[in-house]
Amino acid sequence: MGTKMCRVLGLAIAVLFLATPLASAACNKDDLKALLSFNSSFPPHTLHNWINAEDCCSWAGIHCDDGTGRVTSLFFSNNPDPIDLAGPMPPSVGDLSELVGISFENLPNLVGPLPRQLSKLKKLKYISIYSTNLSGPIPSFLSQLPALEHLLMTSSRFSGSIPPSLGSLAKLRYVYLSGNGLTGSIPPSLFSRLDRSVLAILSLGQNKLAGAVPRSFASVAFGSIVLSENRLTGDASFLFGKSKPVSIIYLGQNKLSFDLTDVEYPVENLLSLDISHNEIHGSISEQIKEATKLSNLDMSYNKFCTEESRAEDRLVILHRGASCTTNVCVELLFPHARNRT
Ligand SMILES: *[C@@H]1O[C@H](CO)[C@@H](O)[C@H](O)[C@H]1NC(C)=O
Ligand SMILES: *[C@@H]1O[C@H](CO)[C@@H](O)[C@H](O)[C@H]1NC(C)=O
């Protein structure tokens, strides 16, 4: 049985190898048309190695599927191999119908909103836009991309609110939108269709998001949740829980206010916790001592205020300012934590 299996596998591999040179010999004509249009959207010489039209799969920034020869991903970055795309993202990207991933990174001269034609890319799984001057909204037409799993649009100039329709994407599990000018509140629909056994990552730090953290997030299996440096208010205690898989929780620099006393920490998985610079009150449960992997903890600048300071077991030592609005308990809570970082 083993030998038969090997032979079948061997055959499949041989077919793959045979298919490769044939497929990559000619550029698919629909892909080529879209790429030529893309090329002509930028100033002359931008894509200087895009010369031999027969072999578009070898052009800088283009990746093709070895089997089909179709263009499956675009990767542009002005670093380390400089391709500095200047101008808007060309609508012709939407004509590369087999695209699975697009990356536009470190491109300060890439400007303007995302073209609506991106909504035609029904196989698109990964969008990665990092450090650009792209602007405009996080488009609601992204919800027309049923395969989308990974949406990263960070350190750019996106504004407006996060479209609730993103919650209709059942495969979307990684959402990184930090470092933009996003406003409005966080839509409760986000991750609502994601399988509960799948870990989600949400990163919305450094925006201007306001309102409450959605209560629906209590049942999302976050691996990491970063909401720091916004204007969020109210309760966030439901993000915690003893048996949650979450390892990173960053909620610092908001206006969150809730009682931390009965919060149970996800002690099995917790690596890093920052709830500093909020208006959180109550006390810190001893249960946090069970978080043996925790190496970064910041709870400073909140409203923790207890009558007794328990210096003897170093559990909670609060620096009590006159108004109890600032406290520095963190370093002392885990004296070993500082040395490890
Ligand atoms: C790409 O555009 C440049 C002008 O920037 C042009 O010289 C070149 O021929 C174009 N490439 C192809 C394959 O048409
Ligand atoms: C956006 O453009 C400005 C200049 O117009 C530049 O200083 C800045 O670095 C750019 N931003 C990014 C993230 O590339």
Q: Does 58 score more than 50 pLDDT?
A: yes
In the chain, what percentage of residues exceed pLDDT 70? 82
Please indicate whether residue 155, judged by its CB atom, sits closer than 6 Å to ligand 2: yes
pLDDT tens digits, 164-190: 999 999 999 999 999 999 999 999 999
Residue 301: per-residue pLDDT: 82
User: pLDDT tens across 308-317, in order?
Assistant: 444 333 333 3
CA of 108 to the centre of ligand 2 (A): 5
What pLDDT was estimated at residue 246?
A: 98
The whole-angstrom separation of Cα 67 and Cα 72 is 11
The pTM score is 0.85
Higher pLDDT pick, 244 / 54: 244
Assign 305 a pLDDT band (cuts: 50, 70, 90). low
Ligand 1: does its nearest atom lie under 6 Å from the Cβ of 58?
no
* Domains located in the chain, CATH noted: 1-160 (3.80.10.10), 181-341 (3.80.10.10)
**HEC string for the chain:** CHHHHHHHHHHHHHHHHHHHHHHHHCCCHHHHHHHHHHHHCCCCCCCCCCCCHHHHHHCCCEEECCCCCCEEEEEEECCCCCCCCCECCCHHHHHCCCCCEEEEEEEEEEEECCCHHHHHCCCCCEEEEEEEEEEEECCHHHHHCCCCCEEEEECCEEEECCCHHHHHCCCCCEEECCCCEECCCCCCCCCCCCCCCCCEEEECCCCCCEEECCHHHHHCCEEEEECCCCEEEECCHHHCCCCCCCCEEECCCCEECCECCCCCCCCCCCCEEECCCCCCEECCCHHHHHCCCCCEEECCCCEECCCCCCHHHCCCCCCCCCCCCCCCCHHHHCHHHHHHC
Please provide the average confidence, as pLDDT, over all residues in the chain: 85
- In the reported structure, the alpha carbon of residue 40 is separated from the centroid of ligand 1 by a whole-number distance in angstroms of 7
Ligand 1 midpoint to CA 108 (Å): 22
The predicted pLDDT at position 9 comes to 44
